[in-house]
Amino acid sequence: MNKFKSFAVNLRKILDEEDIKIDEPMKYHTSFKVGGPVDILITPRNFQQVVDVIKLCGGKKIPFYIMGNGSNLLVKDGGIRGIIIKLIKLNHIKVEGNRITAGSGTSLKDISAAALNNSLTGLEFACGIPGSVGGAVTMNAGAYNGEISNVIESAKVVDNCGDVRILNKEELKLGYRMSSILMYGYTILEVAFNLEKGEYQKIENRIDDLNRRRSEKQPLEYASAGSTFKRPAGHFAAKLIEDSGLKGESVGDAQVSEKHSGFIINRGNATASDILNLIKVVQDRVKEKFNVDLYTEVRIIGED
C-alpha cells in the first residue's frame, strides 16, 4: 500500500466512506473528459471537513489540489500523485436582500438562476459559464462585459495552514484571470455577492439572449474547457489562431474548434497528450506568424 492509500485511513476519520475514492480516473471529473487517475479524490460536505483535511495534508506533507466541477482543468494522462479536494458538495445558496451567499462548489448557472428568481441583477453574464463559484472567483471569471470583480463583496477562505479568514474585495486582488487566491494558494469556502434590484423580465431576457449567443458561437456540443487561451494584450486569441490558419487543426481527436477558434475540443477520444500537443502547435504557429505569446487559461496539472 503506497503512502497515499494508507493516508486514506486518516481521511476516514474526517469523511464518510462514500466521499473518498481511490485511484479515481479524472476523466470523469473534468469537462475535457480526459485525465489519468488521482491517488485519492474526496468530496467534503462542509467547511470543517475541508479545513481538517487541509491541516492533515499539511501535517503529513501530502500534496493536495483544489477543484470545483473541473470546467477549467486539464489533467495529464499519468494522473495525479496526491489528493484532489473536490468542493462540489459545498453548493448552498442563501439570499438576503440584495446579497447572495454561496458555497464555493455552487455552479454559476445555479447562482445566476437564484439571482433571477429574486429579481437581482449583476450575475446575468455568469448564466452560461460552466464553472463553480470558487473557480470563478479564483480566475475572476467574466463574459459579455461582466466579471466577478463587479459583483463580489467578500470570500471566506482557508490557507494552507488551515486558518480561516474573510477577504474583502480589495484583499482578493481581482484582475484579468488573477486573484490573491491564486497568488497565495487559498481555498475558497464561501463567497458573498452584492447585487442590485432589477426587473425580473429584463434579467430573464438578458439571460436568454446570452444563452442564445453562446449556443450560436461556441462548440457546446463537444467536451472542452471553454476558452483555452488567455487574451493577449492588444489582441484576441481566437482571431490570432484563425488568422494563423489553425481553425480545424487536429492532433488525434483534439481539435481547434471550427465554430470558435478560441476553443480546443475533444471530439470523443482525445487524450490529454493530444490536447497538450495541439496547444503547443497553436502557440508555436501564432508566435511564428504574429510574434505573440499565447498563454493557457486552462489549469494544467498531473504527470505525463
Active site residues: 177, 227, 297
Cβ contacts of 240 within 8 Å, gap of 6 or more: 232, 286, 289, 290, 292, 294
Give the residue among 253, 254, 252, 256 at the shortest CA–CA distance from 285.
Answer: 256
Cβ contacts of 208 within 8 Å, gap of 6 or more: none
Spatial separation of the C-alpha atoms in residues 163 and 12, rounded to whole Å: 22
Answer yes or no: are the C-beta atoms of 79 and 59 closer than 8 Å.
no
Spatial separation of the C-alpha atoms in residues 204 and 124, rounded to whole Å: 8
Which triple of cell numbers denotes residue 186? 487559498
- Write the burial class of residue 173 (CB in 10 Å: 0-12 exposed, 13-18 middle, 19+ buried): middle
**φ/ψ of residue 300, rounded to 5:** -115, 120
Cβ contacts of 58 within 8 Å, gap of 6 or more: 160, 161, 162
